[in-house]
Amino acid sequence: MREHLYIDGQWVAPANAERFAVYDPATEALLHQAPAASVVDVDRAVRAARRAFDEGPWSRLDGKARGGFLRAIAAGIAERRDELARLEVRDNGKPLAEALWDVDDAAGCFDFYAGLAETLDTDGEDVALPDARFRCRVVREPVGVAGQIIPWNYPLLMAAWKVAPALAAGCTAVLKPSELTPLSALELAGIAERCGLPKGVLNVLCGLGGDAGAPLGAHPGVDKLAFTGSVPTGRAIMQAAAQDIKNVSLELGGKSAFIVFDDSDVEAAVEWILFGIFWNQGQVCSATSRLLVQEAIYPRLIERLVEETRRIRIGNGLDAGVLLGPLVSQGQYDKVLQAVGQGLRDGARLLCGGRRPAQFERGWFVEPAVFVDVPEDSALWCEEIFGPVLAVRRFRDEADALRQANASRFGLAAAVMSRDAERCQRVSRALRAGIVWINCSQPTFTQAPWGGYKQSGIGRELGVWGLNNYLETKQITEYLDPAPWGWYLRD
């Protein structure tokens, strides 16, 4: 495991020589003492990224050349697939099958943006003007130095979502991974180094939020801030960005609703409900953690849902057949158990789960929980828990379902299930969310936009929208008439 920070193409010790502990969530054992960046290291990294952008070759390379580096990084990730997946399991706790999927998606993300980088090799596009004496072209240029702060739930994949489009656009980057899961981001830096990425183009700083994340957000040398994480931290990022009017994109929390109408297939609904809330231990910003079930189907669906929830195999993510690993940290474990307790005090009824499994003395394991009869004003229904906790309510008709689903300060995602295709389309348009799934939950594709309404964030990641996050639009207008303009200088 890496002992140093990656700054300006070199592995360097943190300026203050400090380290912080990283733990294995399944055993609570010390996994690594990671290097802890400080404000001094942040300044060094931003200055390196600034030089690489302003003076170095990166922003001047054509898109095809940048795409070549991105494809090499993708190949480097794929080559180390098994190793990186096992590292993710030990660092984050997720089951190995999920980690393998994440690594594949990370490689695919770099490949995808390699292709988009090549689309930037144009002279721009003409804009039709009403005056033939002028010609206008619009070109897209990289925004500059990107400060990127990512969460712990998908460590390598979230790094790819940020770094790949930034580099494709011609930006340079300073990446700050979560202090809970810093290990795969450092390995990504190692892969980039091996691919010959010019120095300063990608810098990776481990460290605590106050010591590394906050100085990165406030640094005047950063042109763009991209953050994925909680609403409170996102608010702080916006405040930091406001000081210099920085370009900012935020992907924040969610409390996504899953609406199941009574004409749905019960078995299919149960499968997608389980996937929507218990994948990655429920530590997913888009998790469909609020389930709305129409009254006629409610008893049968809840019975099957509880049966299948109790069958989910819990354990160390490296063990075969495990579908639910531990939560990422002691802090997250405590938060989830506190939310379960508060739900009970609010009058919600717990049908299963919500406690430590009896077979585990160590590790941050929580049995997947299903609550019903959840009051609409309960924190269990309103607030993001980020754990394997499902809150269920009934609804009468389509209008009632939409009212309950949209009554949230979040608007990241939502899902609707019905055999009535017209109703699915109608409901999907009425849901106030940036992502809507029909007859499924959580499928995510690099090609499609990702982001939400309301307090779920600003801007979109992935697809061409993710590339546009790191591009500025420039107008270049030329006067073509050989005769003088003649406004001030007249005969």
- Catalytic residue numbers? 251
Length of the chain: 491
Number of H helices, E strands in the chain: 15, 22
Angle 183-194/155-169 helices, nearest 10 degrees? 40
Among all chains, which residue has been given the structure tokens 């054509």?
62
Contacts of 347 (CB under 8 A, 6+ apart): 373, 375, 378
Parallel, antiparallel, or unpaired: how do β-strands 471-479 and 134-142 relate?
antiparallel
Burial of 97 (0-12, 13-18, 19+ CB in 10 A): middle
Secondary structure element (H or E) that encloses residue 58, with its range: none
Q: How far is CA 298 from CA 275, 291, 350, 389, in A?
A: 19, 11, 16, 18
* Count of beta carbons in the 10 Å neighbourhood of residue 297: 18
Concatenating the DSSP letter of every residue in 212-278 gives IIHHHHH-TT--EEEEES-HHHHHHHHHHHHHHT-EEEEE-----EEEE-TTS-HHHHHHHHHHHHH
Output the CA angle 403-406-408, nearest 5 degrees.
120
Whether residue 395 contacts residue 404, with contact meaning beta carbons closer than 8 Å, is answered with yes
**Farthest-apart Cα atoms in the chain, separation:** 95
Whether residue 437 contacts residue 456, with contact meaning beta carbons closer than 8 Å, is answered with no
Q: How far apart are CA 7 and CA 49, in angstroms?
A: 9
